[in-house]
């Protein structure tokens, strides 16, 4: 093949390639603009997310806090141990003006003293103790002295000459809620 023939063939091949490439170039500008717009939108989303946490509007702050509160309560409910049935607060109260220390002992504490308090100093000492339904024997200890007769008791027992009060929790008249 002669050099001029080869040159002609190469020109024809290049012309063909350019013509085909020109097809791919059509709409290029539009595609570039669209891509830039998409990227711009993408960026704005993350900017908005960042702004949401760093500069929340009052409405979103309140909504977020309420959502966190609900999630917190839900988690608390899920992770809490199952509630014991029907535990209700029971008020143990005794008038002991001038006493230095008052406690209640009973089946519910394995007869260990539970201190009563008299925050306003009026001589009325009290403690609220949550208990499940049942029959409980108890007594007060006022300045170290056994006081076994509680006027709020359902009944009394005498044990070796000392009174012990009895309450039926869950239906007795002394089942007082604090």
Partner 1 sequence: MRIFLLSLLLISLAGSALPQAILPSAASPPSPEEVLQFLGGMGFTPGFTAALSTALLSGFKTGRATTTVTFLLLRDLAQIPREEAEEILEIIRYALSQGFIVDTGLTASSMMNEVRKLLALGRSGEEISRVLGLRLAFLLATRNVLLGHGLLPPSTPSPEAPLTPADRLILELAWALGDFILWEGGSPEDPRFLGYVRGRLNRLATLGVCPLDMAQEVSAALSPNILAEIVRFVFQP
What residue ranges bind partner 1 (CB under 8 A)?
54-56, 58, 61, 64-66, 68-73, 75-77, 79-81, 83-87, 105, 107-112, 130-137, 146, 157-160, 162, 164, 168-171
Instruction: Tell me the closest approach of the beta carbon of residue 119 to partner 1, in angstroms.
Output: 20
Instruction: Tell me the closest approach of the beta carbon of residue 59 to partner 1, in angstroms.
Output: 11
Q: Which is nearer to partner 1, 2 or 145 (CB)?
A: 145
| Residues near 148 by beta carbon (within 8 Å), at least 6 away in sequence | 139, 140, 156, 162, 163, 164, 165
Q: Which is nearer to partner 1, 106 or 125 (CB)?
A: 106
* Pair of tokens at residue 165: 């009060």
Q: Which is nearer to partner 1, 36 or 157 (CB)?
A: 157
Bridge partners of residue 115, in order along the sequence: 103
Instruction: Tell me the closest approach of the beta carbon of residue 87 to partner 1, in angstroms.
Output: 6
Instruction: Tell me the closest approach of the beta carbon of residue 139 to partner 1, in angstroms.
Output: 8
């Amino acid at each position: 093949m002669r050099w001029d023939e080869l040159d002609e063939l190469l020109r024809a091949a290049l012309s063909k390639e350019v013509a085909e490439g020109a097809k791919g170039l059509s709409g290029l500008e539009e595609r570039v603009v669209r891509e830039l717009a998409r990227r711009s939108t993408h960026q704005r989303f993350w900017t908005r997310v960042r702004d949401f946490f760093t500069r929340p509007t009052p409405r979103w702050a309140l909504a977020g806090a309420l959502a966190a509160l609900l999630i917190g309560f839900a988690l608390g409910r899920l992770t809490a141990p199952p509630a014991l049935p029907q535990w209700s607060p029971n008020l143990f109260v005794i008038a002991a003006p001038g006493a230095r220390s008052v406690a209640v002992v009973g089946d519910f504490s394995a007869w260990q003293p539970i201190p009563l308090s008299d925050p306003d100093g009026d001589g009325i000492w009290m403690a609220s103790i949550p208990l499940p339904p049942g029959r409980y024997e108890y007594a007060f200890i006022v300045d170290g002295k056994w006081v076994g007769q509680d006027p709020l008791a359902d009944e009394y027992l005498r044990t070796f000459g000392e009174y012990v009060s009895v309450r039926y929790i869950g239906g007795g008249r002394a089942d007082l809620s604090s």
